[in-house]
């Protein structure tokens, strides 16, 4: 059995959406932040945020500020399974309650210290499949 190329912790470098029309966007801006970890025990966890988030004005976050923070992040954890070029995240807990209990399939490519995950997601407005490309770099020791 070959070694799992996903093991370890990865730092978020870019988050790009490529629409079915070919138009590209970076919904988390040019400098997103986050980490993705795959453990040898078959568990994974991920959190990502937009790079240009605005800090709330106080400790009691509600309304538009709360919605803006929620809409500029993703986070989930659970078990994972790996096949050649494909990893499936079996979501157990998530920032988006509708993901709990789902399988999130990602296609992966590891080149040196770079991990690229891609997936297709149906755009509810157009019904077309948009391609999400998320690039991670191997996280070293303390920064």
How much is the pLDDT for 143? 53
**pLDDT tens-digit map of 15-58:** 999 998 899 999 999 999 999 999 999 999 999 999 988 887 87
* CATH number belonging to domain 8-138: 2.40.128.280
Q: Which two tokens stand for residue 3?
A: 């070694």
Which stretches of 14-94 are DSSP H helices?
63-71
Domain boundaries, the chain: 8-138
CA distance linking residue 99 with residue 104, whole number of Å: 8
Query: Has residue 60 got a pLDDT over 90?
Result: no
User: Between vectors from CA 121 to CA 50 and to CA 113, what angle results, nearest 5°?
Assistant: 55
Q: What is the largest CA-CA distance in the chain?
A: 52
């Amino acid at each position: 059995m070959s070694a799992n190329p996903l093991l370890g912790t990865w730092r978020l470098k870019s988050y790009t959406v490529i629409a079915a029309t070919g138009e590209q966007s970076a919904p988390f801006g040019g400098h997103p932040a986050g980490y993705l970890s795959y453990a040898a025990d078959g568990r994974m966890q991920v959190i990502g945020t937009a790079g240009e988030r605005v800090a709330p004005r106080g400790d009691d976050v509600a309304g538009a500020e709360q919605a803006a923070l929620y809409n500029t992040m993703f986070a989930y954890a659970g078990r994972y399974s790996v096949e050649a070029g494909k990893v499936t995240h079996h979501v157990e807990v998530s920032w988006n309650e509708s993901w709990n209990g789902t399988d999130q399939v990602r296609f992966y490519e590891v080149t040196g210290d770079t991990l690229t995950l891609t997936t297709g997601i149906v755009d509810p407005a157009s019904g077309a499949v948009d391609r999400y490309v998320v690039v991670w770099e191997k996280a070293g020791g303390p920064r």
